Amino acid sequence: MPPKPMVALREYSSTIVDGIRLSDADRRLCAAGQLTERIDIRELARDRLELNAREYVGVVELDACEIRVRPKYLGEELDVLRMAAYATAGDCPSLDAPRTVAHGSPNLRDLVALIVTEHCERLLSHGVRRDYVTFEEDLPAVRGRLLADRQLLRHPGRLDRLACRFDEHESDVPDNRLCAAAADLAARTTRSPTVRARARRVASQFAQFAPTPLGDPRTALAQLDYHRHNEHYRSAHRWAALLLTGGGVKDLFARGPLTSRAFLVDMNRLFESFATRLLIEASTDTGCTVRDQSRERGMLRNELTGLPYSEVRPDLMMSGRRGGAAFRRPVDVKYKLYGSGKKISTADLYQAFLYAHSLAEEPDAEPPTCVLLHPGGPGAPRQSIAVRHRGGGTSARVRSLPLNLPSLLDALTVGGATKQEALTRVWGQALS
């Protein structure tokens, strides 16, 4: 069969494509509320298709075409994965898509499927993990512990059926079930014949070790507990979770065609996670701390009742000592491109000024400051906006901190002194 046409657009953009006629299955999928919240796909007259992308990046597989939504402030799909790798593990591996994906440009799901397959192959080569699993069965002879209460209730007076509880050294454990489910999904959804063949081999091997179905991925992921026996599974599980959750969108856990035909990553949440990890790592060995989602309930109060009205919760809170004096500086993370003449929106300024007035503490009688961290192009200038009293004094200020994401990801990937220089530069700008 001839390859399907591929339609590409950037997040937060729109386009109209000619010559695309949706199938009935496509129409049902495009009308699903789970998908329309992330990308609006409308069928127009004369075989035209209107696409309106939002903040989600990834791929939607239709019968009529493949729709790719690419990042607006990054380079390509590989940069999204590098950002995800750093945000979740503190490490930014060098990913080289052409190593096995040789049949056209891979989409985001194909790249994740490739990474999952490689991690699972590595686990298989070293031997899968086994653990003791507790079973309760009725046996003809005692094995492990005899359950006296259950024996009396179910088999009173019988000696040929004994209720027992025992431990078995098994490979059919959640660690392997998660890998088996991810490898199976990779084998069924990736477009690359090479990766699909590798994923099938991996899935068949893991199916022998872990034949029990995974079930709800949310439950399996919540029950994972890492220790010295399964720490080497952590990276494989992170990528498996990303693939199984369709890019991290919670609604994609539901059964149905959307689960296997859409892979969409929320760039707002990803950028916030990336920025959090970046500032926490940059604060290492500085004597300062960075806390995420710091909740402050006493700042907004109902004066009539004396009770808290609402909580103030900045994305990040930097605190420590600078110049011998204590400081606190809130950070508001926005996935918006400010700079190059574009002003910070009034709503974002109001929110940042609230954080500065209610939470910030600066040494040397400086006005309280909030940092607005956002993506920025090469050489993007910083902005500093102040709130002034009518008498002329400054009561608070907001300072933007643009991050040139492609160059920053390159520095984090190189590691060593280059990475440390980038972290030191970001930390210094956040304090200035």
pLDDT value at residue 313: 87
pLDDT value at residue 91: 56
Q: Which residues pair with 56 in a beta bridge?
A: 266
Q: Where are the alpha helices (H) located in 73-173, listed in sequence order? A: 77-89, 108-126, 148-154
Structural contact between residues 406 and 399, judged by C-beta atoms closer than 8 angstroms: no
pLDDT value at residue 125: 93
pLDDT averaged per 10 residues in sequence order, the chain, 432 residues: 81 92 87 80 91 91 90 82 82 52 70 90 92 89 89 87 90 93 91 88 95 85 87 90 73 48 88 93 92 78 80 90 88 83 87 90 87 88 87 87 91 89 94 90
Three-class SS of residue 186? helix
| Helices 77-89, 108-126: crossing angle, 10 deg rounding | 50
Sole residue written with tokens 């194909």: 110
pLDDT value at residue 93: 54
| Helices 267-282, 77-89: crossing angle, 10 deg rounding | 50
Burial 193-209 (b: 16+ CB within 10 A, else e): eebbebbbebbebbbeb
Three-class SS of residue 16? strand
Phi-psi region of 88 (alpha: psi -120 to 50; beta: other; left: phi over 0): alpha
Structural contact between residues 111 and 95, judged by C-beta atoms closer than 8 angstroms: yes
Summarize pLDDT for 342-388 with one digit per residue, the tens: 788 999 999 999 999 888 888 877 899 999 999 988 878 888 999 88
Structural contact between residues 245 and 252, judged by C-beta atoms closer than 8 angstroms: yes
- CA 216 to CA 28: how far, in whole Å? 24
Summarize pLDDT for 87-133 with one digit per residue, the tens: 887 555 555 544 545 455 678 888 889 989 999 999 999 999 999 88
Which of 132, 114, 130, 112 minimizes the C-alpha distance to 122?
Answer: 114
Burial of 304 (0-12, 13-18, 19+ CB in 10 A): exposed
Q: Which residues pair with 67 in a beta bridge?
A: 7, 60
User: What percentage of the chain's residues is helix, strand, coil (to nearest 5)?
Assistant: 40, 25, 35
pLDDT value at residue 294: 73
E strand map for 181-228: none
Which of 197, 218, 199, 194 minimizes the C-alpha distance to 120?
Answer: 199
E strand map for 276-368: 289-292, 296-301, 308-312, 316-322, 325-333
- CA 50 to CA 19: how far, in whole Å? 11
CA dihedral over 360, 363, 365, 371, signed as positive or negative: negative
Q: Please state the pTM of the whole predicted model.
A: 0.83
The two tokens of residue 406 are 């492609």
E strand map for 338-380: 369-375
pLDDT value at residue 255: 43
